[in-house]
Amino acid sequence: MIELRETMAELLSEALGLSSNYVSHVECMKSESLACLYYPVCPEPELTFSTSAHSDTTFLTLLLQDSIGGLQINHQNQWADIISNDKFKSVEHRVLAQPVGPRILVACFYCPSSRSGSKPFGPIEELIFDRRANSI
């Protein structure tokens, strides 16, 4: 997972047009926690959700899931992502209950290091769009 984090940090940095070590350097995904999720078979999935709509507060979530399905994302809502200044949004998603299964997956949540305490994170300076400079 550590190697995967380093690779993802490099790819995310480059996708933002930043130097490849940028995300790693600011330590916004320095620590990770794993959750093993188990969704039992639901006899009446149309009456409920496995997980209601939400967006993760982590910097990045990676999922290793089986073939049962059910995860949905919402492209319509405009959620602000203060780290990448809206370039990467925290996508709203939910999980439908399934009449088959169980559904089993592992979620890895990447967060700033707990050792960085209350270190504030703001928009990446290089990504701040100056409307005044572009209005001429």
Ligand X SMILES: O=C(O)CCC(=O)C(=O)O
Q: Is 100 in the site for ligand X (CB under 6 A)?
A: no
Q: Which amino acid is at 107?
A: A
Least distance (Å) from Fe ion to the CB of residue 117?
25
Please classify residue 89 by burial: count the beta carbons closer than 10 Å to its beta carbon, then call 0-12 exposed, 13-18 middle and 19+ buried. Answer: middle
Q: Is 37 in the site for ligand X (CB under 6 A)?
A: yes
The CB-nearest residue to ligand X is: 71
Task: Retrieve residue 120's tokens.
Answer: 């504030």
Give phi and psi for 39, each to the nearest 5. -110, 110
Choose one: 17-25, 28-36, 55-63, 73-81; the region binding Fe ion (CB under 5 A): 55-63
Q: Is 56 in the site for Fe ion (CB under 5 A)?
A: yes
Choose one: 19-27, 32-40, 53-61, 128-136; the region binding Fe ion (CB under 5 A): 53-61
Give phi and psi for 79, each to the nearest 5. -90, 135
Q: Where are the beta strands (DSSP E) in the chain?
A: 31-39, 49-54, 60-65, 71-74, 92-96, 103-111
Q: Is 106 in the site for ligand X (CB under 6 A)?
A: no
Q: Is 111 in the site for ligand X (CB under 6 A)?
A: no
**Complex with ligand X: residue 105 or 127, whichever CB lies closer:** 105
Name, in order, each residue with C-beta under 8 angstroms of 71's C-beta and a sequence gap of 6 or more.
63, 65, 93, 94, 95
Q: Is 6 in the site for Fe ion (CB under 5 A)?
A: no
Applying CB under 5 A, the residues found at the interface with Fe ion are 56
Residues that bind ligand X (CB under 6 A): 37, 51, 56, 63, 65, 71, 93, 95, 105, 107
